[in-house]
Amino acid sequence: MDQWTTARAEMVEQQLHRRGISDKRVLAAMASVPRHIFVPESRVNRAYWDGPLSIGYGQTISQPYVVALTCELLEISENAKVLEIGAGSGYAAAVLGNLAHKVISIDRLQKLVSLSRENLKQAGCRNVEVICADGTLGCPAEAPFDAIAVAAGAPAVPDSLKKQLKVGGRLVIPVGRSKRQQDLIRIERLSETEFKTDNLGAVAYVPLVGADGWTDAG
């Protein structure tokens, strides 16, 4: 095994499996996606570090454990269509693409859209489409979705995202009144009008900016 394969194997065992991530498909996806492709060259030696890393433009690539936890909570099937809000450098989208049939990833910053597209191409991920748009509004043209993952903290759960879930679908999103501290929330759509909400505890994400989120990243 090369150094990156070894680093991923150690990450999966020490950061994920030992912390309770048990979904075998999620663990396999985390072990196969080359995270070092998705971090800036200046930070590549910390690609498999147990924490988030800056990718520029005031954004971060999420901690591996948080990506794995989100994927496990979404319970993604092989034929699922997934929406991701906050493409960043494309890493989480690549993991989601390893689990699902199709992924639509949205970012409001064109520079990050271009970066994530380039990284995903380099990683050989062909079932992820990255678009530049207001992620708080979702992607009505592709709805409904089996799963929606939000990689930024919202002041409240956007109604548009809840409406774009299939019945039986799940949404994972950080929600909180602070722009830097939130609770990780999972919402399951039980029927056209009923939703089940679970609080998974405290997290810290960058703000979700948009019409149905924060007005600025401040």
Catalytic residues: 62
CB 103 within 8 A of CB 127: yes
User: What is the dihedral sign for C-alpha 137, 138, 140, 144?
Assistant: negative
CA distances from 82 to 4, 16, 46, 148 (A): 27, 22, 28, 6
Residue type, 148: I
CA-CA distance, 135 to 128, in Å (whole number)? 16
